């Protein structure tokens, strides 16, 4: 039997709230069966129902009645028989008598076979919940009898594949100090199910949502929570059917309160497993009973779309808060370095482009933190063959608005002399022509820093470092690189945030810089306009930042990143465009590692950085063959 995961690692799970008639097992069973069929038809591999869903949760002393127990038992047998041809793992809540006690269980079954009877381990006996009147906690023996056979009932895992492993806990188990799900996750569970019947009161939904979302994050797991809804007794309690599907700290799907139905979530199991492997604090503790489920995972086409801008918060309020925090982190890092070396001068090559603008804004903030006069910041414009009046003017205006020292040092004659020295034809507009300008600028900045006892502030960003879009020992080098962990897609938002905080004149110049095409300005302009646009040469930075994030943060394969990008950028880029620039990304990423192996210090602000001192260590001669072969096969 083929039990492989989908090509891109997603598994669909479902949390269902059926309408309930208290103590009417035949009716409840029909509703459960209907939802199992619907979920299986919709590609779900796993479905979880509420606590005691076969009988209803609020049966009270009817749980002592033998007739109700017999009806529940018969209902489970009918469910298993009717679903034996379906490829779906089901977890259904029901009371299970065993020996002289009654247990609140989840009947876990597929293909007509009962696999386990996880029993509730923490029985509440407070306020409106009086379960201890009827139910016993899961027995220490870890086994329950159902019919003529015994089934595991404590710390039991159901394995669909080595990576798709399901664990179950019941309602109150999730709310205690040491939930069973902790042991289940450490035992290997990547998908956790909770069969619940949680009454609704004001404020509880938000608390429940936050608790389970963060719990899933702590366990590096998916968590599906099925809640009872319409039909449960209203004697003292109201049930809202609040179903939740969380994954590693994120809320994937949520039902509306006071509704019935099925909530679906496509879980990225591959990502969960990879997260556990990359965290050296994660410790497996495989002290659980493992039962294998003999079923195939449904082959689905996931509807889940990843954020196309993973470095940028989607909510405006979150984005503003993120920008404010990052600017403070950058400034604090630079201020710490300046204080350590007793530095009072910083030198920046100011081009009028986005990166050098952000570096200057950060440096100004750092000087303010230290109480140093901004005149100690020396912004240097070094126009050459490709410099346009627009960028040169914006550089000067920005320096004036920020109150920093400004120098303009044309380098055209120096570069021409260099061409004569090395015998290069200035009409040959090749890499020598371009890089000579970048290295001349860096030489000037370093010498000026020596002259005034300061340090050179680097301006290159994370996206450029990933692509190697920097001149070795040119703009590649500095004494402190404040933008080294800021991707290009985020640079724009940081500058825009600063623009909105500044006065009218500063805002005008910053907005014009934002409106200027990204360019190294190393080739002569055409009709006074920028002729060399970076994204025409190396591809859209929004694509490269997307590739970079999912490659480094989750170690996804080129094939998976490509499949995700098709959904994330649908309507913006076609398949061939995404494939073309993905090929460029991997080729340049591997070829240019030697530049990243000797980077200057810079502040780390996010989870994806390329510092060779700890965040990303790759040999400069690593071969890209297996990655490029997968890209070519797309």
Is the pLDDT confidence value at 258 over 70?
yes
Residue indicated by tokens 């009817």 = 62
Count of other CB atoms within 10 angstroms of residue 283: 8
Say which range, 293-302, 411-420, 578-587, has the weakest mean pLDDT: 293-302
**pTM over the 0.85 mark:** yes
Catalytic member of 105, 120, 254, 542: 120
CB distance 438 to 409 below 8 Å: no
DSSP E strands: which ranges in 111-247?
Answer: 113-116, 125-126, 129-130, 143-146, 149-152, 156-159, 165-170, 191-196, 222-227, 244-247
Per-residue model confidence (pLDDT) at position 530? 66
Crossing angle of the two packed helices 541-554 and 488-501, in degrees rounded to 10: 110
Q: What is the pLDDT of residues 342-381, one digit of tens each?
A: 999 999 999 999 999 999 999 999 999 999 999 999 999 9
CA triplet 83, 84, 89: central angle to 5 degrees? 70
What gap in Å lies between CA 350 and CA 408, rounded to an integer?
Answer: 10
Q: Where are the alpha helices (DSSP H) in 515-624?
A: 534-538, 541-554, 558-568, 575-591, 593-596
Catalytic residue among 31, 40, 51, 464: 51
Mean pLDDT score, 75-99: 96
Q: How far apart are CA 119 and CA 105, in angstroms?
A: 4
Tokens representing 437?
Answer: 């300008």
End-to-end CA gap in the chain? 27
- The predicted pLDDT at position 163 comes to 94
> Is 171 assigned a catalytic role?
yes
pLDDT, residue 125, reads: 79
Give the fold, CATH level 3, of 12-292. Answer: Nitrilase/N-carbamoyl-D-aminoacid amidohydrolase (3.60.110)
Active-site residue, from 171, 246, 323, 397: 171
CA 406 – CA 415 distance, rounded (Å): 22
Q: Could you check whether 12-292 and 316-632 share the same CATH topology?
A: no
323, 394, 497, 506, 507 from 501: Cα distances, Å: 11, 18, 6, 9, 8
If residue 456 lies in a helix (H) or strand (E), which one and from where to where? Answer: strand 455-458
CA distance 596 to 566: 29
Tokens of 370: 């230290």
Residue 206 has a pLDDT of 93
Q: Provide the residue ranges of all domains of the chain, joining segments of one domain with +.
A: 12-292, 316-632
pLDDT of 129 = 62
Give the range among 92-101, 136-145, 230-239 with minimum mean pLDDT: 230-239
Split at pLDDT 50, 70, 90, the class of 615 is: confident
Token pair belonging to 560: 């998976």
316-632: CATH topology: Rossmann fold (3.40.50)
- What is the phi/psi pair of residue 257, to 5°? -65, 145
Higher pLDDT, 632 or 230: 632
Q: Could you confirm whether 397 is annotated as catalytic? A: no
For the chain, the residue count is: 634
Q: Rounded to an integer, what distance in angstroms lies between the CA atom of residue 338 and that of residue 455?
A: 9
Helix (H) or strand (E) holding 14: strand 10-17
β-partners of residue 194 are 169, 225
Q: How far apart are CA 606 and CA 311, in angstroms?
A: 9
In 69-137, DSSP assigns E strands to: 89-98, 101-110, 113-116, 125-126, 129-130
Query: Sorting pLDDT into bands at 50, 70 and 90, what band is 2?
Result: very low
Q: Among 17-21, 388-392, 523-527, name the one with the lowest average pLDDT.
A: 523-527
Per-residue model confidence as pLDDT tens digits over 493-511: 999 999 999 899 999 999 9
Q: What are phi and psi of 392, to 5 degrees?
A: -65, -45
With vertex at residue 104, the alpha carbon angle to CA 102 and CA 106, rounded to the nearest 5 degrees, is 130
Residue 31 has pLDDT above 90, yes or no: yes
Q: 3-state class of 600 per DSSP? A: coil
Of 140, 133, 132, 80, the C-alpha closest to 107 is 80
How many Cα neighbours within 13 Å face the side chain of 453?
5
pLDDT band (50, 70, 90) for residue 1: very low
**Cα separations (Å) of 336 from 164, 330, 339, 341, 599?**
46, 10, 5, 9, 19
For the chain, what percent of residues have pLDDT higher than 70?
97
């Amino acid at each position: 039997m083929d039990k492989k995961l989908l090509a891109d690692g997603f598994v669909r799970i479902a949390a269902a709230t059926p309408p309930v008639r208290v103590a009417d097992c035949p009716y409840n069973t029909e509703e459960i069966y209907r939802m199992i069929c619907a979920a299986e038809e919709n590609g779900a591999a796993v479905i979880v129902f509420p606590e005691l869903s076969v009988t209803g949760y609020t049966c009270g002393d009817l749980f002592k009645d033998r007739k109700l127990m017999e009806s529940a038992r018969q209902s489970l047998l009918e469910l298993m028989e009717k679903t034996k041809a379906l490829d779906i793992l089901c977890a259904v809540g029901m009371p299970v008598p065993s020996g002289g006690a009654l247990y609140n269980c989840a009947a876990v079954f597929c293909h007509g076979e009962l696999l386990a009877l996880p029993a509730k381990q923490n029985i509440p006996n407070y306020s409106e919940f009086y379960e201890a009147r009827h139910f016993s906690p899961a027995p220490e023996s870890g086994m329950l009898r159902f019919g003529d056979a015994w089934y595991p009932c404590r710390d039991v895992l159901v394995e669909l594949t080595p990576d798709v492993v399901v664990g179950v806990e019941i309602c109150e188990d999730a709310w205690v100090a040491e939930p069973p799900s902790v042991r289940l996750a450490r035992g290997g569970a990547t998908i956790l199910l909770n069969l619940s019947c949680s009454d609704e009161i004001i404020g509880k939904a938000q608390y429940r949502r936050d608790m389970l979302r963060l719990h899933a994050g702590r366990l590096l797991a998916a968590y599906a929570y099925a809640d009872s809804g319409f039909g449960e007794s209203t004697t003292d309690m109201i049930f809202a059917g609040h179903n939740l599907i969380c994954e590693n700290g994120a809320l994937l799907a949520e039902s509306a309160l006071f509704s019935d139905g099925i909530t679906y979530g496509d879980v990225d199991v591959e990502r969960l497993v990879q997260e556990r492997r990359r965290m050296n604090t994660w410790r497996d503790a495989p002290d659980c009973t493992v039962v294998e489920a003999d079923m195939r995972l449904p082959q689905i086409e996931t509807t889940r779309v990843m954020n196309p801008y993973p470095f940028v918060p989607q909510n405006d309020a979150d984005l503003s808060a993120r920008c404010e925090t990052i600017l403070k982190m950058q400034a604090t890092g630079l201020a710490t370095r300046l204080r350590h070396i007793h530095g009072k001068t910083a030198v920046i090559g100011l081009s009028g482009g986005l990166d050098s603008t952000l570096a200057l804004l950060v440096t100004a903030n750092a000087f303010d933190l230290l109480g140093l006069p901004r005149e100690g910041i020396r912004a240097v414009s070094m126009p050459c063959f490709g410099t346009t009046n627009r960028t040169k003017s914006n550089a000067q205006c920005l320096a004036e608005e920020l109150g920093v020292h400004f120098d303009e040092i044309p380098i055209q004659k120096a570069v021409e002399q260099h061409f004569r020295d090395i015998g290069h034809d200035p009409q040959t507009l090749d890499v020598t022509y371009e890089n000579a300008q970048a290295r001349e600028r860096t030489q000037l900045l370093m010498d000026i820093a020596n002259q005034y006892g300061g340090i050179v502030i680097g301006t290159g960003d994370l996206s450029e470092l990933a692509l190697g879009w920097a001149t070795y020992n040119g703009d590649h080098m500095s004494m402190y690189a404040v933008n080294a962990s800021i991707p290009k897609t985020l640079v724009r938002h940081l500058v825009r945030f600063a623009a909105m905080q500044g006065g009218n004149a500063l805002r005008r110049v910053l907005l014009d810089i934002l409106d200027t095409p990204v360019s190294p300005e190393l080739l002569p302009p055409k009709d006074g306009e920028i002729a060399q646009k970076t994204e025409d040469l190396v591809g859209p930075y929004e694509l490269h930042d997307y590739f970079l994030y999912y490659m480094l943060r989750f170690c996804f394969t080129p094939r998976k990143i490509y499949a995700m990008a098709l959904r994330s950028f649908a309507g913006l880029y076609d398949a061939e465009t995404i494939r073309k620039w993905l090929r460029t990304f991997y080729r340049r990423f591997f070829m240019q590692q030697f530049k990243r192996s000797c980077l200057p210090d810079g502040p780390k602000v996010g989870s994806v950085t390329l510092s060779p001192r700890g965040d990303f260590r790759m040999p400069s001669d690593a071969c890209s063959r297996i990655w490029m072969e997968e890209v070519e096969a797309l």
